[in-house]
Structure 1
Amino acid sequence: MPLTDMSTLLPLLVAIPLVGAIVSVLLNTKYAQVLTGLLTAMSLLLVIGFVLGGLSFNGAGDTITLRYSLAGWVAPLGIALSLDGFSALLITLTIFLVAVLTLYSAFYFSASPARVRFWPLWWLLVAGINALFLSADIFNIYVTLEIIGLAAVALVALSGNKESLTAALRYLLVGLLGSLCYLLAVALLYHAYGTLDFVQLAERVESNPLSWAALALITVGLVLKTALVPLHFWLPYAHGSAPAPVSAILSALVVKASFYLLVRFWMEILTPAVTNDALMLLGVFGGLAILWGCVQALRAKRLKLMVAYSTVAQIGYLFLLFPLLMSTDGASASQLAAQHQSALAAVSYFIVAHACAKAAMFIAAGNIIHSLGHDDIARLQGMAKYMPLSLFTFAIAGGSLIGLPPSAGFIAKWLLLNVAIDTQQWWWVVIILTGGLLAALAIFRVLDLAFIKPEHACEQSAPDNWQKVPVAMPVSGLALALCTMALGFNADLIIDLVSLGGGE
C-alpha cells in the first residue's frame, strides 16, 4: 500500500478500542466481553502491522512520518494524527502489552462481578492512550489526557473498598490539577502563536516570558501525572490498591504517556524556551526519585506497594534524559543532534524495558494475591514451592529492573551510562549504579523469603485459603518477563526505530 494510503489507517488505532468499549457495554455478558476484548486486541495488532509497514526509511536513513488530517481539514483548523519513529515505538508497545494484559484480565475477572464495569473502561483507556500517542495538536492532547485520567481513576476504584476509593479520589484530584495546568498553557500558546499544531508551534515559538510560563505550566501538569518526586505522593497508593491488570497498565503505559509529552515539548515543540538550568533541574529531581523510590521500596511491607515504589524510582531514570540533552560549549550542531539522539534512544529503550518488566511484576503480585488473599511480604516465606511460575516471573523481571545482563534493563542502563560518560556528567553514573544496588536489595529481599527461607519444613502443606490460579495467568506474566530477556539481544530494533524528526 502506498505511504499516503497507509496514513488513512491511523484513525483505526483509536476507533477500534472505542468500538470495543461500546460493544462491551451493549453485550453485557461474561463471554461476550471476553470475546470482544480478545478480538479487539487481535484487530489492534493487525492494524499496527499495516501502519508500521508504511513507516519506512528513506535513503538518508531518516524516518518518514505518517500524517493524516481528519475530514481533510488541515492545521491550524483541523485535527491531525501523526506517527513517527518515537510514537510508533510507544504505539507498538501499547498494542503488545494490551494484548497480553487483555488475556490476563479475562481470567483475572472471570468470576468477578467487576468485569461488567472493567471491559468498557479498559478499552476507553486504551483508546485514550493510542489517541495521545497519535495526536499532533496540543488541545487534542488535553482531550486525550482527560479520557485517560477519568478511565484510569474509575479502574483504580473498581474493587470498591475504602483503600481503592481513597486512592482513586486522590488520583482524580491530582489528575484534574495537572490537566488544568496543561490547559492554561494551551491557552497561552494559542494566544501568542495562533495555532495548536505541533509542527507550526515548533516553527513559531520564541524564547520569551510567555513561552517560559507555558513550558513551566505544561511541565508541572505533566510531572504531576508522571509522578516525579516530590509530586509522586498519589502513585504508590493508586497502583498499589488497583486490580493487578490495572496496576500493570498504569505503571507500564499511563505514566509513560505524560512523560512522552514532556519529551515532545522539551525536545521538539518548545525547544527555544528550554535552558540548561531547567534541564539540570529535571535531572536532579530524577536522581532524587531514583534514590527515594528505591529506599521506600526497600521499606515497603506489601508486595504491590513495593512494586509501586519501584515505579517511582524507575520514573527517575527517565528524567535523566533531560540533563543529558544539555548543550556544551564548542559542540557543533551535528554533535548536539547525535547527543540528543543517543540520549533519546537510551530512554526509549528504558521505557520498553521497564514497561514489560513492571507489567510482569504486577501480574506476579496479582497472582499471589489471587492465591493467598494478601501480599504481605513477611508472610510469603516458602511461596516459591506453590507458585514457582509467578515467583520465577518476579525474579526475571526484577533482574531487568536491577540491570542484570542480558536483560533489556541492562542494555537501557548501559546506554544511559554511555551518554552520561560522553557528556562528562559523571554524577549520573553514581546515581544509576546506586539505584541498581538499592533495587537489588528490595527485590532480593522478597526472593530471599520466597525461595530460600520457608517457614517450616519442606513437607509443609499449602497455606490456608490457598487457591490455584488458572495457568494462563502466570504464563502471561512469564511471557512479558521473558520479553525483557529477548529484548536484551535485539537492541537495534528499538534504537533504529526511535526518531523525533521525520524525513521529507
Structure 2
Amino acid sequence: MPGFATTTGGVLLILAILLPVAGLTASLALGGRRAEQIALTLTPVGVLIALAIASSVLASGAPVVYIVGGFAPPLGIALRADGFSAIMLLTTAVIISAACFFARSSFATPRGEPEARAPFAFWTLIQGLFAALNIVLLSGDLFNLFVALELLTFSAVPIVCLDGRPETLVAALRYLLFALFGSVFYLLGVGLIYGAYGTLDILLLASRVKPEPAVYAAAGLMTAGLLAKTALFPLYLWLPPAHANAPAAGSAVLSALVVKAPFFLIVRLWFDVLPKLPSETAGAMLAALGSAAILVGSVLALRQQRLKLLIAYSTVAQIGYLFLMFPLALGGGVWSMDAWIGGVMQTLSHAFAKAGMFMAAGLAAQSLGHDRITDLGGLGRAMPLTAFALGIGGVSLMGLPPSGGFAAKWLLLTASAEAGQWAWVAVILAGGLLAGGYVYRILAPALSGEPATLKSAPARSREAIALALTLVALLLGFAPQNFFNLIEIGRLPVAGP
C-alpha cells in the first residue's frame, strides 16, 4: 500500500526519537551531574538529525516514512515526516539545543558541590520534552499521539515549578488540570474513531472517514481537548502564570514549542484525518476563537506590569493567528496554499521570536533584580544585546517587514482578501496595531534614561543565544523558494468549495 513502506532516510525518523529517549534514560541512571553533559552533547546531534530529515524530504519531494518493526498499519505503527513535520523537527531541535546552552549557568552542578534537585529535574525533563515533541511530529497513529501528549504534559508541568515557590506550584497545578481535561476529551474522541473504523492510522483514516454522527462527535471532542492544551481563547487561563513563572529557558521552550504541539495535531486532524468532513463551520469557529485570542490577549498584554507576563499574554494573542488559516486553507480555493504557508510561517516565526524574547526577559530580570516594565529605564544602554533581542522579537510579533512575522501575516491577509473573508483582514490589522502598543511599552522605557544599575552582568554568550533566536525570526522573511517548496511537500489535497 502506498505510504506504508520504509523509504530512503526513514531510519532517521526513529533516530530522532531514540536519541532523546536514550539521553533521558541515561540521565536518570547516571544522575544530575551527568544529565547536563548528556543533554548538552545530544541536543546538537538532534539538530543534525533533524537537518538530515529535512534535506531528505526536500530531495525526494515526498514524505519520509519508517515502519516500526516492519509491521505496516493497521497492525503496526508508521512514522512519517512531510514538509511541515520536517520544518517543525528542525525548529524544535534548534530551540531545545539553544535552551540547553542558555540554561547552563542556571542549572549547572559545579565540581565539588553536591547534586541539587532542580538541575537534575531540568536536564531530564528537557530531554523528555524533546522526545515527546519529536513523537508528536512524526507519529501517524492517533493513540500514539495521545501517549506523546501525555509525555509532553508530564515533562512540561514540573518545569513550571522547579523553584518550588507557592505561586509556581499553583501555576503548575492549573496547567496540569487544563492539560488533563484536554487529554480526557482527546482520548474519548480517539475511542469513537477506533470504534467506528477499527484503525487509528492517519493515512488509513483519511480514506475511510465519512460524515456521520460518531465522527462529528469525535472531531468535536478531540478538537476541544487539543484547544485546551494549546491555550486558545477562552481556554488560556493556565498559560500566562505558567509561562511567566517558569525559569527563562523553560518559558522559552513552553511558549515556542509546547503549545505548538497540540496545534500541530489540530492541523493533522482537520487536514489529514477529516478531509471529507464539511469544514466551513468548524473553520469559521476556530478562526473566530483565534480572532478573540488576538484581540483579548493583546489588550491584556497592554495592561501587564511585569515583562514576562506581558510576553506570556502576547503568546495568547499570537496563537490566535495560527487559527486564521483554517477557514482559508480548508476550503480548497486558489488562496488555500497562501493560507497554509502563512500558518506554517506564523508557527515558525513566533517560535523563534518568543523563545528569544523570554530568554532576554529572563536575563533582564536576573540582572536588574526585577522585571517591572516601568523600571526598565536604561536597560538598552546597560544590556544592549538583550534590548536588541527584545526589539527584534517585537518586530516579528508586530508583523513588520522584513521579518518572518510580516511574511506570515501578509500571506494570511492576502488569502483573507482573496477569499472575501474581510473579518479576518480587520483582525490581522487590529492585532498588528495592538502588538505595536505592547512592544512599545517594553522598548520605550528600555531605550531611555541613563544606563541601568545591574546587580549582576549577564554572560555575553547567553545574550547572544537570545539575540540569535530572534534574528532567525527576522531572517525567515528572506526564506528562499526551497523553503516554501518544503512546506508544501506531503500536504494532502483538500476538497474544493
Q: TM-score range by the shorter chain?
A: over 0.9
- Of 137, 152, 157, the residue aligned with 1:148 is 152
Q: Runs of 4 or more off by more than 6 Å in structure 1?
A: none
- With over 3 angstroms needed to count, the CA separation of the structure-2 counterparts of 1:193 and 1:3, relative to structure 1, is closer
> Letter of the aligned partner of 2:47 in structure 1?
L
Q: Aligned residue for 1:18?
A: 21
Assess if the C-alpha contact under 8 Å between 1:411 and 1:491 holds in 2. no
Q: Aligned residue for 1:340?
A: 336
Q: Aligned residue for 2:495?
A: none
> Letter of the aligned partner of 2:25 in structure 1?
I
Structure 1 window deviating more from structure 2 (162-171 vs 2-11): it is 2-11
Root-mean-square deviation over aligned CA pairs? 1.8
Assess if the C-alpha contact under 8 Å between 2:291 and 2:324 holds in 1. yes
Assess if the C-alpha contact under 8 Å between 2:377 and 2:452 holds in 1. no
Q: Describe the SS at the equivalent of 1:195.
A: coil
Residue 320, structure 1, aligned to residue 324, structure 2 = yes
State the distance in 2 between where 1:337 and 1:90 align. Answer: 25
- Structure 1 residue 3, shift from structure 2 partner: 8.0
Assess if the C-alpha contact under 8 Å between 2:74 and 2:200 holds in 1. yes
- Structure 1 residue 35, shift from structure 2 partner: 2.4
- With over 3 angstroms needed to count, the CA separation of the structure-2 counterparts of 1:258 and 1:461, relative to structure 1, is closer
- Of 344, 355, 366, the residue aligned with 2:362 is 366
Assess if the C-alpha contact under 8 Å between 2:398 and 2:433 holds in 1. yes
Q: Aligned residue for 2:231?
A: 227
- With over 3 angstroms needed to count, the CA separation of the structure-2 counterparts of 1:204 and 1:3, relative to structure 1, is closer
Assess if the C-alpha contact under 8 Å between 2:6 and 2:65 holds in 1. no
Residue 407, structure 1, aligned to residue 403, structure 2 = yes
Q: Aligned residue for 2:38?
A: 36
- Structure 1 residue 372, shift from structure 2 partner: 2.2
State the distance in 1 between where 2:381 and 2:48 align. Answer: 39
Q: Aligned residue for 2:62?
A: 64
Q: Aligned residue for 1:47?
A: 49
- Structure 1 residue 338, shift from structure 2 partner: 4.4
- With over 3 angstroms needed to count, the CA separation of the structure-2 counterparts of 1:493 and 1:408, relative to structure 1, is farther
- Structure 1 residue 39, shift from structure 2 partner: 1.2
- Structure 1 residue 341, shift from structure 2 partner: 2.3
Q: Aligned residue for 1:470?
A: 459
Assess if the C-alpha contact under 8 Å between 2:296 and 2:317 holds in 1. yes
Q: Describe the SS at the equivalent of 1:68.
A: strand
Task: State how many pairs are aligned.
Answer: 482
> Letter of the aligned partner of 1:14 in structure 2?
I
Q: Aligned residue for 2:374?
A: 378
Aligned residue runs from structure 1 range 85-164, under 5 A = 85-110=83-108, 113=116, 114-164=118-168
> Letter of the aligned partner of 2:71 in structure 1?
W
Residue 199, structure 1, aligned to residue 223, structure 2 = no
Deviations 1:307-334 (A, max 9, x none): 000000001100101121353xxxxxxx
- Structure 1 residue 470, shift from structure 2 partner: 1.5
State the distance in 2 between where 1:271 and 1:500 align. Answer: 17
- Of 438, 443, 454, the residue aligned with 2:439 is 443
Structure 1 window deviating more from structure 2 (161-170 vs 275-284): it is 275-284
Q: Aligned residue for 1:188?
A: 192
State the distance in 2 between where 1:150 and 1:3 align. Answer: 31
State the distance in 2 between where 1:427 and 1:502 align. Answer: 27
Q: Aligned residue for 1:479?
A: 468
Deviations 1:171-192 (A, max 9, x none): 1111111011000011100000
Runs of at least 5 residues in structure 2 that lack an aligned partner in the other structure: 111-115, 493-497
Q: Aligned residue for 2:427?
A: 431
Assess if the C-alpha contact under 8 Å between 2:157 and 2:175 holds in 1. yes
Deviations 1:126-172 (A, max 9, x none): 10000110000100000000000010001111111011100100111
Assess if the C-alpha contact under 8 Å between 2:380 and 2:446 holds in 1. yes
Q: Describe the SS at the equivalent of 1:166.
A: helix
- Structure 1 residue 193, shift from structure 2 partner: 0.4
Q: Describe the SS at the equivalent of 1:189.
A: helix
Deviations 1:359-385 (A, max 9, x none): 010001110122123211122122222
Q: Describe the SS at the equivalent of 2:204.
A: helix
- Structure 1 residue 33, shift from structure 2 partner: 3.1
Assess if the C-alpha contact under 8 Å between 2:227 and 2:262 holds in 1. yes
State the TM-score, normalized to the length of structure 2.
0.93
Q: Describe the SS at the equivalent of 1:469.
A: coil
State the distance in 2 between where 1:11 and 1:372 align. Answer: 44
- With over 3 angstroms needed to count, the CA separation of the structure-2 counterparts of 1:166 and 1:386, relative to structure 1, is same
Q: Describe the SS at the equivalent of 1:4.
A: coil
Deviations 1:172-217 (A, max 9, x none): 1111110110000111000000101001111110101111000000
- Structure 1 residue 22, shift from structure 2 partner: 2.0
- With over 3 angstroms needed to count, the CA separation of the structure-2 counterparts of 1:180 and 1:390, relative to structure 1, is same
Q: Describe the SS at the equivalent of 2:58.
A: coil
- With over 3 angstroms needed to count, the CA separation of the structure-2 counterparts of 1:494 and 1:349, relative to structure 1, is farther
Structure 1 window deviating more from structure 2 (405-414 vs 109-118): it is 109-118
Q: Describe the SS at the equivalent of 2:79.
A: strand
- Structure 1 residue 500, shift from structure 2 partner: 6.2
State the distance in 2 between where 1:140 and 1:428 align. Answer: 35
Structure 1 window deviating more from structure 2 (78-87 vs 37-46): it is 37-46
State the distance in 2 between where 1:288 and 1:87 align. Answer: 28
Aligned residue runs from structure 1 range 164-313, under 5 A = 164-313=168-317
> Letter of the aligned partner of 1:407 in structure 2?
S
State the distance in 2 between where 1:316 and 1:29 align. Answer: 38
Assess if the C-alpha contact under 8 Å between 2:368 and 2:456 holds in 1. yes
Assess if the C-alpha contact under 8 Å between 2:84 and 2:486 holds in 1. yes
Runs of at least 5 residues in structure 1 that lack an aligned partner in the other structure: 328-335
State the TM-score, normalized to the length of structure 1.
0.92
State the distance in 1 between where 2:390 and 2:479 align. Answer: 22
State the distance in 1 between where 2:141 and 2:92 align. Answer: 21
- Structure 1 residue 29, shift from structure 2 partner: 4.6
Q: Describe the SS at the equivalent of 1:82.
A: strand
Assess if the C-alpha contact under 8 Å between 2:379 and 2:452 holds in 1. no
> Letter of the aligned partner of 2:453 in structure 1?
A
Assess if the C-alpha contact under 8 Å between 1:353 and 1:400 holds in 2. yes
> Letter of the aligned partner of 1:74 in structure 2?
A
> Letter of the aligned partner of 1:469 in structure 2?
P
> Letter of the aligned partner of 2:270 in structure 1?
W
